[in-house]
Chains A and B, each alone.
Chain A
Amino acid sequence: MNDRQTPRDAWPSPELDTLTLGMLPLNDAAPLVVARERGFFAEQGLDVTLSVESSWAGIRDAMQLALLDGAQTLPLMPLASTLGLDGRRTPMLSALTLSLGGNAITVSNALYDDMLAADPDAMAASPTSARALATVVRQRRETGAPPLRFASVYPFSSHRYLLRYWLAEGGVDPDRDLELRVVPPPLVAQQLEAGWLDGYCVGEPWNTLAARRERGRVLIGSHAIWQNGQEKVFAVREEWAQAYPATHRAVLRALLKACAWLEAPAHRGEAARLMCERGYLDVAPSVVEDSMLAEGASLTHGMSVFHRHAANFPWRSHLLWYAGQMRRWQHLDVDDAVLDECLSRCVRPDLFREAADDLGINYPLVDAKSEGEHGGAWVMEGRHGPLDMGGDRLLGGARFAPSLHS
């Protein structure tokens, strides 16, 4: 591959050769599907079965019961599982980020019309502000109408905190002004149409699907809320990582190569095909293609970043940002020392660097970075020279400077 790469025969050989990894039927499970179907796992001597689960709760159960060796998870799952907030207290860690961005907020056609009538200026702003929603909320309260209902996908989800961030930025208090629910992505479009929901924040292909069927209007993509924000991670149990370090490292190498492969726009069509044809995503292929092939350069609402801008590096600061959002809404009640200890257990850049060294892939030398400082491309010093980083703008221009003590 390149001359920085460790010779293959110096790689430790995996303790296990047969693995089962969990995933949900979502576009951003593509790295696992590609690693399985394009032979990147096989190349590492791994025979991997992908278990398609139906819910995040299902992934959590299977991970905590040791029915899976590893899984695609939400970025907060290792933290929530380690702290015992989600299911049975089970230390979990992630040494690789699978994707950045890829979610969007969609509202019903009726709410869209109300927002347009209430505040056309806010609706014309780019990105779309929740200010118009704040006005609709006020009008509804005055007329005694019931609170609007918005959904995300799981209690400990990126979607929940991105939605709350957008709402708060526009002056909507998510706890006082709205009824917030959890509705699984395959059901949101139908519930929007049935009038049980007025809006939601989910990942692809489910926004594209609703827009296609003209059931809702996509208002804002996650990159406009947190540009290149962390979205899915690859997680394993801490105990598993300690018992099978070489296997873990081999899985990380395979996923890194799959993510790099997915970065080429020409490969995304093939990835969409693998997802549909091999039965991982039971949705019309055109919907998957549309949301996978969204313009490579611009970060449109459905766009997942799989590799560039050091996307796969597990930033401690990414998880700290989410933990900060949990605290903001009183969803996390632990002191700094506990959180710090947890962050150093749950996010393992050291393990990522071992796998990246095996492949000669460049990576950051620090474990944390600020967010909200860069509106566009910038350069960071990496192990093998400069790294091309992407923007990290936060909606409203906020800045996040992580303070990590470990």
Chain B
Amino acid sequence: MTVKVLIVDARPERSRALEQALHEAGFDVVTRVDEHDDLYAIMTREVPDAVIIDAALPSRDTLEHMGQLGRRFPKPMIMLAEEETPELTREATSVGVSAYVVEDVQPALVRSMVNVAIASFESHRALKGELTRTQTTLAQRRTVERAKSRLMQAHALTEDDAYQWLRKRAMNRRLTIFEVAQAVLATDDSES
């Protein structure tokens, strides 16, 4: 049997590379979508045997629900082959790969598919120098801190005034604090 795989990923470049790699390993990629597509409609139409989804996408929880609906929908990898895959599941989690698989796919094929996805995500990360969610949180925090000190120095503000300035601008422009902080840092000193 050829395993039909659905890829859910918001980064087209990475998902194209993954599709290619899976194809070379003998898997049939039915389609690639990002999470702004209607997953219920796609899953019902394509009936994939497996789904590879970027673990950073909140839409994983939609797949959890479908997995609870019945046999025809793929289940989270952590529920499968309990004794066989904990290491692989841990490794997949650490590089941001989540897999969902229907129960009758052979464990060896599951391992192979997940390994292909792990390798693909890892090489993309190495290439792009992308950050994990925790690293992103820290990077955002540093950006906000830098923007505040820039404002404090340029306008002789207190830290609290600098925060209130960022907050007010975020409110007026419907932006997040981080986006305003980025804009502050992108401006030349002469303009700020």
Q: How far is the CA of A284 from the CA of B178 in the complex (A)?
A: 9
Q: Chain A nearest CB: distance from B53 CB in Å?
A: 10
- Are A284 and B61 in contact, with the CB atoms below 8 A? no
Contact (Cβ within 8 A) A54 B56? yes
Contact A62 B175 (CB under 8 A): no
| B contact residues vs A (CB 8 Å cutoff) | 35-36, 38, 40, 55-65, 68, 76, 78-79, 82, 86, 89-90, 93-94, 98, 133-134, 136-141, 144, 163, 167, 170-171, 174-178
Across the interface, do B134 and A54 meet the contact criterion of CB distance under 8 Å? Answer: no
Chain A residues near B78 (CB-CB < 8 A): 60-61, 64-65, 87-88
Chain B nearest CB, measured from A55 CB (Å)? 4
CA of A55 to CA of B176, assembled, Å: 21
Instruction: Provide the residues of chain B in CB contact with A52, threshold 8 Å.
Output: 133-134, 137
Q: How many A-B residue pairs have CB under 8 A?
A: 121
Cα–Cα distance between A49 and B137 once the two chains are bound (Å): 11
A184, A280, A285: which contacts B58 (Cβ < 8 A)? A184
Q: How far is the CB of A9 from the nearest CB of chain B, in Å?
A: 35
Are A61 and B93 in contact, CB atoms less than 8 angstroms apart? yes
Is A187 positioned at the interface, with any CB of B under 8 Å from its CB?
yes
The answer to whether the Cβ of A185 comes within 8 Å of any Cβ in the partner chain is yes
Closest residue of B by beta carbon distance from A182: B65
The interface stretch among A118-126, A223-231, A271-279, A359-367 is: A271-279
- Pick from B38, B60, B170, B174: contact of A55, CB below 8 A: B60
Q: Taking the complex as formed, is A190 at the interface, i.e. its CB lies under 8 A from any CB of chain B?
A: yes
Q: Which 6 A-B pairs have the closest CB atoms?
A: A184-B58, A182-B65, A279-B140, A55-B60, A279-B137, A57-B60
A181 touches B176 (CB 8 A): no
Contact between chains at A196 and B137 (CB < 8 Å)? no
Minimum CB distance partner of A212 in chain B: B174
A279 to B141, Cβ gap below 8 A?
yes
Which of B35, B76, B90, B141 contacts A187 (CB under 8 A)?
A: B35
23 example contacts (A-B, Cβ-Cβ < 8 A) are as follows: A55-B55, A55-B57, A55-B64, A57-B61, A61-B89, A87-B78, A155-B68, A184-B58, A184-B60, A184-B61, A186-B58, A187-B59, A190-B36, A273-B167, A276-B176, A277-B163, A278-B144, A279-B140, A279-B141, A282-B140, A282-B176, A282-B178, A284-B174
CB distance from B89 to the nearest CB of A (A): 6
Point out the residue from A62, A182, A185 that lies within 8 Å of B64, measured CB to CB: A182
User: Judging by beta carbons under 8 Å apart, are A182 and B144 in contact?
Assistant: no
* Chain A residues whose C-beta falls within 8 Å of the C-beta of B139 in the assembled complex: 279
Taking CB as reference atom, which chain B residue is nearest A154? B61
**Which residues of A are at the interface with B, using a C-beta cutoff of 8 A?**
49-58, 60-62, 64-65, 67, 87-88, 153-155, 181-187, 190, 196, 273, 276-280, 282-286
Of all chain A residues, which has the CB nearest B175? A284
Q: How far is the CA of A65 from the CA of B90 in the complex (A)?
A: 6
Contacts A61-B78, A279-B178, A282-B140 known; A51 to B134 CB distance under 8 Å? yes
- Is the Cβ of B40 less than 8 Å from the Cβ of A57? no
Q: Which of B68, B94, B170 contacts A286 (CB 8 A)?
A: B170
Q: Which residues of A contact B140 (CB under 8 A)?
A: 279, 282
Closest-CB distance, B107 to chain A (whole angstroms): 15
Minimum CB–CB distance for A194 against chain B, Å: 8
With a CB–CB cut-off of 8 A, which chain A residues contact B89? 61, 65
CB distance from B73 to the nearest CB of A (A): 12
Are A285 and B171 in touch, CB under 8 angstroms? yes
Q: Looking at the assembled complex, report how far the CB atom of A346 sits from the nearest CB atom of chain B, in whole angstroms.
A: 19
Instruction: Write out the residue numbers on chain B whose beta carbons fall within 8 Å of the beta carbon of A54.
Output: 55-58, 60, 133
The complex places the Cα of A196 from the Cα of B89 at a distance, in Å, of 32
Asked if A155 contacts B64 (CB within 8 A), the reply is yes
Q: Which residue of B61, B86, B134, B178 is within 8 Å of A56 (Cβ)?
A: B61
A181 nearest in chain B by CB position? B40
Q: Tell me, rounded to whole Å, the shortest Cβ–Cβ distance linking B187 to chain A.
A: 20
